[in-house]
Amino acid sequence: MIEDVRDRVRQHYAEAARNASGCCDGDCCGVDETAGSAIYGIAELREVPDAAALASLGCGNPIAVAELREGETVLDLGSGGGIDVILSAKRVGPTGAVYGLDMTDDMLALARRNAEDAGVGDVTFLKGYIEEIPLPDESVDVVISNCVINLSADKSLVFAEIARVLRPGGRVGVTDIVAEDHLTPQEREERGSYVGCIAGALSFSEFRSHLEGVGLVDPEVVPTHGVADGMHSAIVRARKP
């Protein structure tokens, strides 16, 4: 199951990287326009190369959610074309560091080109899975992601890994697609595909339960806008004690 989902996601987003054309077939995260222009402000888009904005496949703006500070170490799960890594690097400054994690070679190549074009400093792109983060325990201050956790076939592993790599006092600031609690997994699947960020979405209560289950506290899952019947883009925050 995990490998099947990974293969479908990898193929879908590898083509997106090659096309560098936003949300591919219009199904990604419930929007039918270029994602970058839809969820980032004009000032933010001016900070990144056009190719990074065009390759943005997210459903929100985790940079606005995470409230990054100078000197912090940030990890972006499913970094795609690198827009959130670039924006993070500009906010944490020369004393900070940013890691981008992605499993797709085409996306990693695109992200590295975009980061080089943007002239950002301490940025490292890693190949790997969000269920098996290739970083040491307690190595980052902030974990961000943009419409990626819903793509995992084993979300319990993702949350466990997030908690593992966060330093004490660290925090989570992500955006994701979340289902209303009354929707069954089958009903979520009826509303959209897995690679389109819909079928694999957690419910609001499931998201909070996963965060609390790995020891994170003060979980918030707040809807921002609808993407399908009973499905929402949401801001997610939590912290490690």
pLDDT in tens, 102-132: 999 999 999 999 999 999 988 999 999 999 9
pLDDT in tens, 129-171: 999 999 999 999 999 999 999 999 899 999 999 999 999 999 9
Domain boundaries, the chain: 2-239
Question: What values do phi and psi take at 54, rounded to 5?
Answer: -65, -30
Q: How, if at all, do strands 202-203 and 231-239 pair? A: unpaired
Cα atoms found within 13 Å of the Cα of residue 198, Cβ hemisphere only: 22
The whole-number average pLDDT for the span 8-20 is: 61
pLDDT at 217: 98
The whole-number average pLDDT for the span 44-50 is: 81
Model pTM? 0.86
Does the pLDDT of residue 197 top 80, yes or no?
yes
pLDDT at 39: 73
CATH 3.40.50.150 fits 2-239, yes or no: yes
- Residue 194: pLDDT band with limits 50, 70, 90: confident
Does the pLDDT of residue 67 top 90, yes or no?
yes
